[in-house]
Structure 1
Amino acid sequence: MADGEFETFEIDGAELRIPSGQLNDRLRGRLKDQGYEHFERDLARAHLRPGDRVLDCGSGAGLVAIVAARIVGAENVTTVEANPEMHDALRRNLRRNAGEGLRLIKGAVVPDDYAGDSVTLNLRGAFWAASLGETKGKGMRPVEVAAKRFGRLLAKREATVLTMDIEGAEAALLLAPLPASIRLVIVELHPNLYGEDTRDKILASLTAQGFRDLEARRTEEVYAFGRGD
């Protein structure tokens, strides 16, 4: 349903209102046919459990965070979103579908050794195309957003689960060891942005840390890795 300024979609019983200017035809189609974040939602439902504390990096419209909140409780979910043009709509989506306890952090997740308090985010059309990596392209609009250091977020939120869809920026984060407290990682990788060799290094790094691939069959680059049980 559209009211000109916003469009409304219902997925898994969640009502998402998204600014029309943050949509394109492909994203609109994925939202209408329930395909948006389909793999991440399925993996969250399959592998999250009560007692988990979730750090969700790259919230987008908030759907994965909402699904997680239904399983572990809103107070146990923190979601991070860099795109400032989505923050107001995202906050309303989270409140409408998950209550007041779910925490939203505004900014982009960066490595702990990142120098500076802000980082350039490149916006391009639909909200799911915002990226820290690409600097050129038709319609690219750079904006400065707060830099949120990965290790500090994990420690402060006492996370045990990491969900991540940050359009290529995961390569700078997942090649370093994760804290021992992290038992589950659900991530979309983007080898189209950094190459298959880097993708394979990320997978090898997780394996070396004791994670195992929980879903060997896939049609997209969305993974669930677990360890410790």
Structure 2
Amino acid sequence: MSDQDAAAGSRPTYTHGYGAAVLGSHRHRTAENSAAHLLPHLRPSQRLLDVGSGAGTITAGLARIVGPENVTALEVSEDAAALTRTELASQGLDGVEVVVGDAHALDLAADSFDVVHAHQVLQHVADPVRALAELRRITRPGGIVAVRDSDYEGFRWWPALPELDRWLELYLRAARANGGTPDAGRRLLAWAHEAGFRDVTATASTHLYADDEGRESWGATWSGRIVADPLAAQLEREGWADAAAREEIAEGFRRWAADPDGWFCLLHGEIIARVD
């Protein structure tokens, strides 16, 4: 078995899936609100790889800075790549190349890119250190690898609701069962060092849902995911939460969203890793 076959065989399940509630949330992501740590390092004409491009909205923002013809977007399957292509086409960014591959073993030449970007990706891969080493391999000397990942165990909210406590408990259990690392944000610096990077700048950022629009959006995405998306199917299949239990959690999110005191803060870890 080749290294690429082995990596593919160990690929974990993507906990979120690509249902309507997930995509509705992910399409709110932009280069400005999700890759601010990277933007000061970007210049026109840089060759950029966007790993795990997903809904394509961040990719689009990056492409407008460096030029669409200089961007390659990578996804793990043809179905996921099609989502990126559709979004880029809707924004008139047909020059971006969209390819399918495994971050553990990329069919890309060494020293191919000036910038490699991965947003909310390493928390879902089987071997984050191996993936980072691969991203380092394809980045030219003097280039950078920019990564941002959530730390679910660092999420905080108010009011204190038992339904949301249960949601987090179940999400962490499901993500880990799928081979993921839901507290990836706090681990990025250590993973980068283990992958061979010597010059790494670590930062952190938060995203806060505390106004009417934000609460409605966050409450809707998670009340939807917990009852209908792949996460719901996993919880049902494993016997961890039946339909009634999941509906209780969904109702908790709806009550949180309707509360004018509702406050929900997401913690993200970030790194800029330079290749020497």
Opposite residue 203 of structure 2, the aligned amino acid is A
Deviation at 1:200, TM superposition (A): 5.0
**Residue 187 (structure 1) aligns with:** 147
* 1:1-229 alignment, distance < 5 Å: 22-25=18-21, 28-29=24-25, 31=27, 34-35=28-29, 39-111=33-105, 149=106, 152-155=107-110, 158-165=112-119, 166=121, 167-169=123-125, 170-175=128-133, 178-179=136-137, 180-181=140-141, 183-189=143-149, 193-194=180-181, 199-205=188-194, 209-213=197-201, 216-219=203-206, 220-227=267-274
Matched residue SS, 1:181: strand
Deviation at 1:71, TM superposition (A): 0.7
Query: Partners in 2 of 1:202 and 1:97 — Cα distance?
Result: 35
1:109-130: CA deviations, max 9, x gaps?
323xxxxxxxxxxxxxxxxxxx
TM-score, reference length from structure 2: 0.48
Matched residue SS, 1:225: strand
Answer with 1 or 2: which has the greater Rg: 2
**More helix, by proportion:** 2
* More RCO (CA 8 Å, sep 6+): 2
Deviation at 1:86, TM superposition (A): 3.3
Deviation at 1:98, TM superposition (A): 4.6
**Contact residue 55 and residue 84 of structure 2 kept, 8 A:** yes
Deviation at 1:82, TM superposition (A): 1.7
TM-score, reference length from structure 1: 0.57
Equivalences, count: 165
Deviation at 1:105, TM superposition (A): 0.3
**More strand, by proportion:** 1
1:74-108: CA deviations, max 9, x gaps?
11100011243333342122123253221010233
**Contact residue 61 and residue 90 of structure 1 kept, 8 A:** yes
Query: Partners in 1 of 2:80 and 2:45 — Cα distance?
Result: 29
Opposite residue 205 of structure 2, the aligned amino acid is R
Query: Partners in 1 of 2:136 and 2:81 — Cα distance?
Result: 28
Opposite residue 178 of structure 1, the aligned amino acid is R
1:129-158: CA deviations, max 9, x gaps?
xxxxxxxxxxxxxxxxxxxx2xx42538x2
Matched residues, percent identical? 22
Q: 1:153 to 1:187 in 2, by over 3 A?
A: same
Query: Partners in 2 of 1:177 and 1:95 — Cα distance?
Result: 26
Matched residue SS, 2:78: coil
Matched residue SS, 1:163: strand
Query: Partners in 1 of 2:80 and 2:194 — Cα distance?
Result: 32
Which runs of 5 or more residues in structure 1 are unaligned? 1-20, 112-148
Which runs of 5 or more residues in structure 2 are unaligned? 1-16, 152-175, 207-266
**Contact residue 143 and residue 275 of structure 2 kept, 8 A:** yes
Opposite residue 201 of structure 1, the aligned amino acid is A
Deviation at 1:27, TM superposition (A): 5.2
Query: Partners in 2 of 1:228 and 1:53 — Cα distance?
Result: 15
**Residue 227 (structure 2) aligns with:** none
